[in-house]
Amino acid sequence: MNRLQADLLLLLASVIWGTTFVAQKIANDHVGPLAFVAARFAVATAFLAPAAIWETRRHRRTGNPLHRRDLLRGAVISLCLATAACAQQIGLVTTSATHAGFLTAVYVAFVPFLAWAVARVRPRPPVLLACAITLYGAWLLAGSGTHSSASAWNRGDAIILGSDLVWALHVTLVGHWRGIAARPFLLSGMQCAAAAAAVIPMAWIAQPASWDALRPIVPEIAYAGVLSSGVAFTLQIVSQRHTPAAEAALVMSLESVFAAAAAAVMLGDTLTRSASFGALLILVGAVLVEIGPLLRPRAAR
């Protein structure tokens, strides 16, 4: 697979993730956020299990067993996914799908700093500028609101912004730990299974959902479970073997654009002028994260 093919797969994943915000928002009208996350990842686990088993057996036959270190790293990646997914779904209770999509894109500004901590790659000044622009854009977006939601910064916006750090760590570790990432079906299945195992007991205690409550959102659960969790996360893992973390984060941040488009079509969300400018700043910051480091070598020449 070449870089262009990997980026196209990331773009496809971004389309799926962006449109999933609508499904998540609809689901919150019927069940608690933990109940939806539990159902979503249970479906994803069942969907990925056959491919994960096949992949494990294939590696075993070729004399490439999975090391204990890789399993531990997979567990850490799984914990990141479970934490970020729960925080995102809880945040969607009090914010719009459009807000959630754009605020989630802020994680692209954190990736360079986590890459510095994990891989000892120091962020350059253009990257710091991109971080400032992106965070200011998020402030404008959440502060200005949408015509279909409250205009002030709310608890949901803050929770989703906090989850960005965990999403950024997830992206960084998937790109850095190549051993477990070389088994994309297994890693994708592991993280979905871990998320389901962690959230199901909490949902059972705090937010039990009856079949009557779940039945109206079966399509949303299937979409989020099969496509968003099962397919898109696998595409991310496959693509990050060929695309650097900063570029991968840039492409994946485009989910915010697709989230806004889907929310406008299906939920009637519309951005104010100030919020639109904030959204534009988020995308500008995302682009600077990618092109900023490329300008320095050219200037040096």
Q: What is the pLDDT of residues 203-223, one digit of tens each?
A: 888 887 788 888 999 999 999
In this prediction, residues 272-294 reach a mean pLDDT of 72
87 close to 263: Cβ distance less than 8 angstroms: no
Q: Is 70 exceeded by the pLDDT of residue 185?
A: yes
How confident is the model at residue 117, as a pLDDT? 85
Q: Is 50 exceeded by the pLDDT of residue 145?
A: no
Instruction: Work out the number of other CB atoms within 10 angstroms of the CB of residue 57.
Output: 10
Structural domain including 230 reads 3-300
67-124: per-residue pLDDT in tens?
Answer: 888 888 888 998 999 899 888 888 888 777 777 877 787 888 788 788 788 877 677 6
The percent of residues above 70 in pLDDT, for the chain, comes to 89
- Helix, strand, or coil (residue 171): helix
Q: Is 80 exceeded by the pLDDT of residue 158?
A: yes
What residues contact 233, with CB distance under 8 A and at least 6 apart? 13, 81, 188, 191, 192
103 close to 142: Cβ distance less than 8 angstroms: yes
How confident is the model at residue 126, as a pLDDT? 72
Number of domains observed in the structure of the chain: 1
Q: Is 50 exceeded by the pLDDT of residue 195?
A: yes
How confident is the model at residue 148, as a pLDDT? 44
In this prediction, residues 228-253 reach a mean pLDDT of 86
pTM of the model: 0.81
Window from 99-108, 182-191, 221-230 with minimum mean pLDDT: 99-108
How confident is the model at residue 296, as a pLDDT? 52
In this prediction, residues 245-249 reach a mean pLDDT of 76
- pLDDT grade for 237, boundaries at 50, 70 and 90: very high
Task: State how far the Cα of 296 lies from the Cα of 123, in Å rounded to an integer.
Answer: 12
What residues contact 199, with CB distance under 8 A and at least 6 apart? 34, 37, 38, 41, 82, 86
Q: Is 50 exceeded by the pLDDT of residue 150?
A: no
Q: Is 60 exceeded by the pLDDT of residue 297?
A: no
Task: State how far the Cα of 55 lies from the Cα of 279, in Å rounded to an integer.
Answer: 40
How confident is the model at residue 45, as a pLDDT? 96
15-56: per-residue pLDDT in tens?
Answer: 999 899 899 889 988 888 889 999 999 999 999 999 999 998
Average pLDDT, the chain: 82
How confident is the model at residue 152, as a pLDDT? 57
226 close to 16: Cβ distance less than 8 angstroms: no
